[in-house]
Structures are given as structure tokens and as C-alpha cells.
């Protein structure tokens, strides 16, 4: 009976798994070509200062314009880029392209770039970052690097040293998706982050859930005492924006203020797309 079940399961899952494996292989093969074919592009999402509602800058968000599959979101190909090591080359392109774009914006605006934890595995990350700054001429203070807690999970000492060297360059280091890890608070003691992004899962419920509100309050008040800025990500509604402003989040980002989109050379968002 067990054997029969096993066999049925095998027959049931096999074509599916084969299809998934083939899809993955397609993506992997195509991704190797994507860079040279100019199929990668950066969308930019505005980030506002909550006190003045001034534009503080933009977060660069990677997209892949696949010739047959259309626009592919990062969560569908970045994991593959990470497994294959392509993330090093892609990440360097993102840095260079984002710095180059920011050079066209008003001087007070900052560009935020996401780094994969895998990019920390190579010793030349600091050189790649300083190379992107030099090639574009962007002052280092106008670049923010967003990392997630996973960077501090393995290879902690080595990655901390890399973070210190990046900070030495004058770039700002941001802890992304804050609150989703299992020991978020600990990481605030290990490195002097310039800014924390409160994960959108909390922002999502902040108007309805007492717990979410309490957590957001705790994060903002703690950040204030530590002299760390806070961005609320995923702000979709005006009530959330008002509440987060009142709670003292220093920066706000989300569909309410603008979806990620293409920018013209002057830094104006002229295409509103997901
Ligand atoms: P993230 O850095 O946390 O970026 C925020 C994600 O939330 C983005 O998804 C953004 O489009 C989305 N978002 C922004 N506002 C709202 C909102 O109001 N509501 C909702 N529901 N979502 C909102 P996206 O662009 O699909 O990127 C997903 C993740 O992919 C990013 O999460 C980041 O971890 C990664 N990623 C994107 N670009 C890059 C890149 O250049 N390099 C690396 N290593 N990772 C990247
Ligand atoms: Mg981010
Ligand atoms: Mg985030
Ligand atoms: Mg996120």
C-alpha cells in the first residue's frame, strides 16, 4: 500500500518537478545572457522625509525585461543569480547604474541600493562599491546600501569588517526588512547602522493591529535613542502615513507615495508601474 502510494506520488510530482527544473534552467541560461543583452533595468521608488514630505531619494529596484517571459520581478531571479554567482556581476552593474542615475538628481537626494548577502562572500565588495562611486563621480554620502540581517548571520566577523570598510568610504548602511529575523535587536548592537527599514509586514497592519503598532512604536523610540533613522516601507494608505509620521518614523516609502518606476534623466518618475 505504502509502495503504491509512493509510486502514485512519484507519478503525480514528477512531471511538475521536471517542469520546475526546466523553468529554472531556462532562467539560469537566459540570465547569463541578460546582462550582455541589456535586459536588466532599474526601477526607482521614492522615499520621503516624514517631517517635511520632501523627497529624500529613491530605492533602486532591479527588474529583468525578459525577451519572451516579459517583466520578471527580482524575487524570481535573484535567488538563481545568488546560487550561480551571477549576483556579483549583476550587483556591480546595479551599483554603477544607480550611482550614475543619482548623479542626474538634485544634490540632496540619495540612492539606496540593495546588496545580497552573497556579495559579501567576495573580498572585493568594497572595491566594487568605491569603483562605482568613482566611475560616476557620486559623493559617497549620496549612496545608501541596504543589507538584511542574514549578512550578520554567517561569517559575522568578516562581514562586519566589510561593513566597517564600507562605512569608512562614507556610504550609509541601512538594515532592511527590520523585525523579520529572529534576533533583530541583537544586530543593532553589533553594527552602528545609519537607518533601519521597518518591514512592510508591520506597516501593513499598523492601523488595525495593536501588536503591530506596539512593535512599530518600540522600534521608532529605540531608534531615536540610538540616533538611527527609520524608514517605514510598504506605506499604502494615507492613514498609515499619518500614523507613522505621528509615531516619529523619519522616512516613508510605499505605493501611497509612488510605485517603483522608470525615471527620466532629471530624476522624475514618469512611468508608474508595479
Ligand atoms: P526590498 O528591498 O525590501 O524592497 C521592497 C519591496 O517592496 C520591493 O519589491 C517594492 O516594490 C515593494 N514595495 C514597495 N512599496 C510597497 C507597498 O506599498 N506595498 C507592497 N506590497 N510592496 C511594496 P520588489 O521590487 O519586487 O523587490 C523585492 C526584493 O528583491 C527587495 O526587497 C530586495 O530584497 C530584492 N531586490 C530588489 N532589487 C535588488 C537588487 O538590485 N539587488 C539585490 N541583491 N536585491 C534586490
Ligand atoms: Mg530594500
Ligand atoms: Mg525592505
Ligand atoms: Mg522586503
Between CA 39 and CA 32 the distance in angstroms is 11
Q: Name 45's bridge partners.
A: 59
- Beta carbons within 8 Å of 60's beta carbon, 6+ residues apart: 42, 43, 44, 94, 97, 98, 101, 111, 112, 113, 114
ipTM of the predicted structure?
A: 0.98
Residue 91 Cα: closest atom of ligand 1: 42
SS3 191: coil
Q: Which of 74, 76, 86 to mutate to test the pocket of ligand 1 (most atoms within 8 A of CB)?
A: 74
The pTM score is 0.92
Q: Mean pLDDT in the chain?
A: 91
**144 close to ligand 1 (CB < 6 Angstrom):** no
SS3 43: strand
Between CA 186 and CA 209 the distance in angstroms is 25
What's the gap in Å between 260 CA and the centre of ligand 1? 9
pLDDT tens column, 154-197: 778 999 999 999 999 999 999 999 998 877 788 888 899 999 99
Nearest protein CA to atom 2 of ligand 1, as residue: 114
pLDDT tens column, 166-178: 999 999 999 999 9
Amino acid at each position: 500500500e505504502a509502495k503504491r502510494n509512493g509510486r502514485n506520488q512519484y507519478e503525480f510530482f514528477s512531471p511538475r518537478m521536471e517542469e520546475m527544473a526546466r523553468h529554472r534552467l531556462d532562467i539560469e541560461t537566459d540570465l547569463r545572457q541578460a546582462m550582455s543583452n541589456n535586459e536588466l533595468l532599474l526601477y526607482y521608488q521614492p522615499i520621503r522625509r516624514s517631517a517635511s514630505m520632501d523627497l529624500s531619494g529613491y530605492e533602486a529596484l532591479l527588474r529583468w525585461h525578459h525577451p519572451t517571459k516579459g517583466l520578471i520581478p527580482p524575487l524570481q531571479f535573484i535567488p538563481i543569480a545568488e546560487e550561480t554567482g551571477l549576483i556579483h556581476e549583476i550587483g556591480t552593474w546595479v551599483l554603477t547604474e544607480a550611482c550614475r542615475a543619482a548623479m542626474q538628481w538634485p544634490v540632496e537626494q540619495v540612492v539606496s541600493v540593495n546588496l545580497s548577502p552573497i556579495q559579501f562572500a567576495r573580498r572585493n565588495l568594497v572595491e566594487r562599491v568605491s569603483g562605482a562611486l568613482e566611475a560616476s563621480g557620486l559623493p559617497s554620502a549620496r549612496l545608501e546600501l541596504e543589507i538584511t540581517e542574514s549578512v550578520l548571520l554567517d561569517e559575522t566577523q568578516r562581514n562586519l569588517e566589510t561593513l566597517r570598510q564600507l562605512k569608512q568610504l562614507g556610504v550609509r548602511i541601512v538594515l532592511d526588512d527590520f523585525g523579520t529575523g529572529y534576533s533583530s535587536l541583537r544586530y543593532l548592537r553589533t553594527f552602528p547602522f545609519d537607518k533601519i527599514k521597518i518591514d512592510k509586514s508591520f506597516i501593513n497592519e499598523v492601523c488595525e493591529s495593536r501588536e503591530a503598532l506596539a512593535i512599530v512604536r518600540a522600534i521608532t523610540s529605540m531608534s531615536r535613542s540610538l540616533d538611527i533613522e527609520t524608514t517605514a516601507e510598504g506605506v499604502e494608505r494615507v492613514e498609515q502615513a499619518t500614523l507613522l509620521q505621528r509615531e516619529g518614523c523619519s522616512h516613508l516609502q510605499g505605493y501611497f507615495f509612488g510605485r517603483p518606476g522608470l525615471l527620466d534623466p532629471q530624476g522624475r518618475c514618469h512611468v508608474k508601474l508595479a
